[in-house]
Structure 1
Amino acid sequence: MSDTCTIPVSEPFTLHVSVIEPRLKHPTIFRYFDELAPGASFRIRNDHDPKPLYYQLIAERGNIFSWNYLQQGPAEWIVEIRKLDTDAGETVGAIAARDLRKAEVFRKYGIDFCCGGKKSLKQTCAEKGIDPATIEAELTAVERSGAPVENFDRWDPAFLSDYIYNKHHGYYYDEAPVISDLLDKVADHHGATHPELFQVREVFTVLLRELSGHFAKEEKVLFPFIKALVQAKQSGDLTALRSTFALKEPVQMMEADHEAAGELLEKLRVLTNNYHLPEGACNSYSLLYGKMENLESDLHQHIHLENNILFPKALELERGLRG
């Protein structure tokens, strides 16, 4: 009987960040990332949470990577960073962009189609341990349902910007103060027996602050510039573009904001046990959780429309105009 030989599986390279000279840390990490082949990964090991690097990668490289904590303190943090394989099939964002009804399938299985929309369906299913055939069957069933579908991808960026402002920003401005007041009421009445409500209020307050600043940047800077691009294409007058900023950087900043908002929404979902009402919850408690979950759903659609439709269309338009 022959001996069985086990071939070791090599792990990704690990970069020990804490021993690198401070001014060289981020350039070194970016160099390793840029040299990755699509689908490949490396790990970073650090003596504190490297989350700021995550946002810098989003801002400077875009949402083209996955970020997976392998260890989170207390003395050491290990993160595996993988460059997404854009040739691995259609992305979940593109699928939802063609038919937003399919987003309900993604929600059912906890698939992020807005901030994580640049991942392929194949990769997303692999990460979550879901059989792709199951998802594909349900997506096909949605196609065959015959229900009407709005094709946002056909809208020009200026019209889509107005739609996002009127529908999603408007919804937020109407609902956010109502939810905030309701949360104060419920926390004051039920916080003694459900102390997690105080954490919910704290996280929700941060979310409102972040979103208010984010929406202001979109309304005062980004949306007007996108409309100017559309106007320039229609008129053929490119004079105004010569003295303006490039769109790439503000778009990356908006995507980083979206990532941060997504994390806060996930914290709220954890704190509220997926908005599952505790036993004996009053009507106000029920109304609060219902409104918070509706706001989450609206924000997911809002972010999806921007990350996966508006921003790519606007960037493509700008590239065509600037040559």
Structure 2
Amino acid sequence: MNDKLTKDMSVGALVADDFNRAKVFDRLGIDYCCHGSETLESACAKQNLNPDDVLASIETTAPEGGRAPEFAEWPLDLLVDYVLKKHHRNFHLHHEELLNLVKKVESVHGERHPELHEVRKLVEGSFEELDSHFAKEEQVLFPQFYEMYNAREEGREPAPFHCGSVAYPIRQMMLEHDTTGDTWMHITEITENFTTPTDGCASYRLMNHELYKFFENLKEHIALENNLIFPGFIRMEQE
């Protein structure tokens, strides 16, 4: 962990160094997920926050609900395992069920809450994009990551990669992350931070709870790739 924190550090690097800081940034409205390359000073300026106060907060605030894993200490292959077996698997197992819940709430409450029509369209479109995105990672990029990691461990050259450098597909994945993050920030705004209206039923509350959980997991997923996994394999390729 980096002991010397400064406002010139990127918010993504601050979270990558200690994922417990993510909850502080979430509370303050600082986007460490898809705009993680911004410096803390720049991100604070957008939210009218004092960066020195934010630094003090992330250094002193105790983590809620237990400490986050020390992802920065994990080997790269374990990070890829984690993304595949937690985040990708969770999406494949549950996204259709969540979309069906959104459609159910839309059908019951859409007349009184027309914003639900846009929520459903955004969620449905995002899930289609994520399904394609994950397929590219699972079938192309991540197998090459494992090959690179294993080759280094075995002291050999990795097999040739048909894309040439991993930097090319990584750049595309990060652009898709930006699109996904913007979509879910828009969903957050439309739902007023996943708040259920007073006339909302139990299914409405459940939908907002599940959408909130999905976005929280998505932010961790994207932050791991953007700030630890992708930079790590780019460095490995350049060694």
| 2:199 alignment partner, SS class | coil
Q: 1:161 to 1:260 in 2, by over 3 A?
A: same
Cα distance in 2 for partners of 1:132, 1:88 equals 6
Residue 291 of structure 1, CA deviation? 0.2
Matches of 2:98 and 2:164, distance apart in 1 = 37
- Counterpart in the other structure of 1:136: 55
Conserved 8 A contact 1:275-1:293: yes
Which residue pairs with 1:220 in the alignment? 139
Q: In the superposition, relative to structure 1, how do residues 144 and 214 fare at CA in structure 2: closer, same or farther (>3 Å)?
A: closer
Aligned partner letter, 2:18: D
Q: Whose helix proportion is higher, 1 or 2?
A: 2
User: What are the within-5 Å matches in structure 2 for residues 165-314 of structure 1?
Assistant: 165-238=84-157, 240-241=159-160, 245-314=164-233
| Structure 2 residue aligned with 1:111 | 30
Quote how far apart the aligned CAs of 1:239 are: 5.5
User: Larger % of strand: which?
Assistant: 1
Return the TM-score normalized by structure 2. Answer: 0.92
Q: CA RMSD in A?
A: 1.8
For residue 270 of structure 1, report the CA deviation from its aligned partner: 1.8
Is the contact made by 2:12 and 2:223 (CA closer than 8 Å) also made in structure 1?
yes
Q: Cα–Cα, structure 1 residues 192 and 247, in superposed 2: closer, same or farther, change >3 Å?
A: same
Matched pairs, number: 233
Q: Percent identity?
A: 32
Q: How far off its partner does 1:174 sit? A: 2.6
1:78 is matched with none
Cα distance in 2 between the residues matched to 1:200 and 1:225: 36
Query: 1:162 maps to which residue?
Result: 81
| Higher-RCO chain (CA-CA 8 Å, sequence separation at least 6) | 2
Matches within 5 A, 1:5-20: none
Partner-residue secondary structure (3-state), 1:241: coil
Query: SS in structure 2 opposite 1:280?
Result: coil
Correspondences of 1:23-172 after superposition (within 5 Å): 89-142=8-61, 148-172=67-91
- The alignment status of 1:318 with 2:208, answered yes or no, reads no
SS in 2 for 1:100: coil
Q: Which residue of 2 aligns with 1:10?
A: none
The structural deviation recorded for 1:300 is 0.4
Deviation at 1:127, TM superposition (A): 2.6
Q: 4+ runs of 1 displaced by more than 6 Å?
A: none
Structure 1 residue 119: deviation in Å? 1.2
8 Å Cα contact 2:7/2:39 also seen in 1 = yes
Q: Distance in 1 between matches of 2:200 and 2:69?
A: 37
Mark the runs of 5 or more structure 1 residues left unpaired by the alignment: 1-86
Unpaired stretches in structure 2, ≥5 consecutive residues? 1-5
TM-aligned CA distance change 1:311 to 1:273, over 3 Å: same
Query: Measured at CA, do residues 175 and 88 of structure 1 come closer, stay the same or move farther in structure 2, by a change above 3 Å?
Result: same
The answer to whether the 8 A contact 2:18-2:72 is kept is no
Q: Residues 175 and 295 of structure 1 are in contact (CA less than 8 Å); yes or no, is this contact kept in structure 2?
A: no
Using the TM superposition, give the Cα deviation of residue 307 of structure 1 relative to its aligned residue in structure 2, in angstroms. Answer: 0.1
Instruction: State the 1:142 CA deviation.
Output: 2.9
State the distance in 1 between where 2:10 and 2:165 align.
26
Tell me how far 1:94 sits from its aligned partner: 1.1
Letter aligned with residue 245 of structure 1? G
TM, length-normalised to structure 1 = 0.69
Structure with bigger gyration radius = 1
Report the AA paired with residue 252 of structure 1: R
Deviation at 1:123, TM superposition (A): 1.6
Output the CA distance in 2 between the equivalents of 1:118 and 1:141: 23
